Amino acid sequence: MTRQPTYREGLTEEAIRAPGFSTPWDAPMVPPYPFTFRNATILTVYWRTDPAAIARLLPPPLEPTGDVACAHIYRMADTDWLGPYGEMNVMVGARLGARAGGYSPYLALSSDIGVAHGREMHGQPKKLAEPVIEYRGDLVVGRVTRNGIDVLTATTPYKQRAVGAEAIKPHFDFATNLNLKALDQIDGRPLVRQLTSRRLSDVTVHEAWEGPATVELRPNAQLPVHRLPVLEELEAILWRADFTLVPGEIVHDYMEAAP
């Protein structure tokens, strides 16, 4: 990667063309790969939902792999560039050919840098919100608030049954994240229409605890997680981990596939 010039050196065309370039160039918004998340606490809750609801949210040619949705609520304690913040990633199982993972119809977080990076790089549909994990005595509570509405509230008992890292993904392998990336030219013409895929690297799970889950969804037109209705509450996993975000890949290009 070309070294980015300092403010005193001035901006060059070579630096603009280089991978990892971001604006404003003398105080970049979007971090370059890789960057690491340390000591993140995650509450993952699973629920059975309406297969028709999953199908409506999946962009073709992705296909659903089941009827289970999950939400990860993150307390990011120490992240390169971003610092501490909260995040929520709602996922459903999906497949493109032999590639299976979790597709993200909704993401929300409290970091403006995270919103910009997720949308510009991965095509993740991130919006600003306030995801938090709280410990209320013997109860773990995950809440996601946007526009003053708790759009998702999840609970599980506090650390009652320790499990191994393999128990974190009982329904689909969410470590492979699939996203729909859509960017337009300044004149309105489509620029990017892609399905992207990324997988976290250097994952170390420090601890994991399984328990029953409760999941409550409240309607919000700007973060409509309620469109994946809760038909049956399944399990919850409270876990703590380190991981690194690395470059992903383009797995389907709609512009190239167009007739």
Catalytically active residues are 126
User: What torsion do the CA atoms of 113, 114, 115, 117 make, to the nearest 10 degrees?
Assistant: 80
CA pair distance 142, 156, nearest whole angstrom = 9
Contact, 194 vs 250, CB < 8 A? yes
- Which of 155, 244, 240 is closest to 199 using CA atoms? 244
**Residue 192 · residue 181 · CB < 8 Å:** yes
Q: What string of H, E and C letters represents the secondary structure of 209-225?
A: EEEECEEEECCCCCCCH
* Residue 179 tokens, joined: 């996203």
User: What residues contact 31, with CB distance under 8 A and at least 6 apart?
Assistant: 22, 80, 81, 82, 113, 117
What is the distance between the alpha carbons of residues 81 and 122, in angstroms, rounded to a whole number? 17
**Which spans in the chain are helix H?**
13-17, 51-57, 112-117, 254-257
146 strand-pairing partners:
149
Q: Classify residue 121 by its DSSP letter.
A: I
